[in-house]
Amino acid sequence: MILVAVLLAGLVRAFAFPTFWIPSSSMAPTLGVYDRIVVQKAFFTWRDVREGDIVVFSHPPLDHCPGPAGDLVKRVIALPGQTIYSSGNGIYVNGRRLAEPYLPHYDPLGPPVATRQHPYRVPPGEFYLLGDNRADSCDSRYWGPIRGSSITGKVVLVFWHDDHPDFRRF
């Protein structure tokens, strides 16, 4: 019975709700370096992704940024078909400023997204992703939008934050 329970728990962790750790500060302050997260893979489809979700996805093929290979974690900013641009430190989606209560007010944007005169339209089936630490994140500003099919799951829980247990749901 114990062997079956351990096997079942291992399968659930590997295929339904795997855990990941955050190797960089690109998602700070929401996710810090070495935070541990749980990702929903079971019953997940990229068609369920919403603006503001934090997702795990396969490393983009045109990534010119230094850093770890493998899966990455970023926040969904714009959905397929939406337009996006930046002005000052603000992000605008479909012409409206994006409310970002998860960011500190002093957080600089870093490289711009596009301009009001020439907004970027996210192609069908693709998503525009940014790290919460905009000044120190390699994201869609560098490698463009990512295909929905490369999104492997959605972050649902942080269970270790800043070197201590901390259970936060997303």
Catalytic site residue 41?
A: no
Which entry of 25, 41, 58, 74 is annotated as an active-site residue? 74
Is residue 87 among the annotated active site residues? no
Choose the catalytic residue: 26, 86, 140, 150: 26
In the 8-state DSSP scheme, what is residue 29? T
Q: Is 168 exposed, middle or buried (0-12, 13-18, 19+ CB in 10 A)?
A: middle
Q: Which residue has the tokens 């490289």?
A: 111
Burial status of residue 126 (CB atoms within 10 A of its CB: 0-12, 13-18, 19 or more): buried
Long-range contacts of 100-108 (CB under 8 A, 24+ apart): 102/29, 102/30, 102/75, 102/132, 103/29, 103/132, 103/134, 104/29, 107/132, 107/133, 107/134, 107/135, 108/134, 108/135
Which residues does the annotation mark as catalytic? Answer: 26, 74
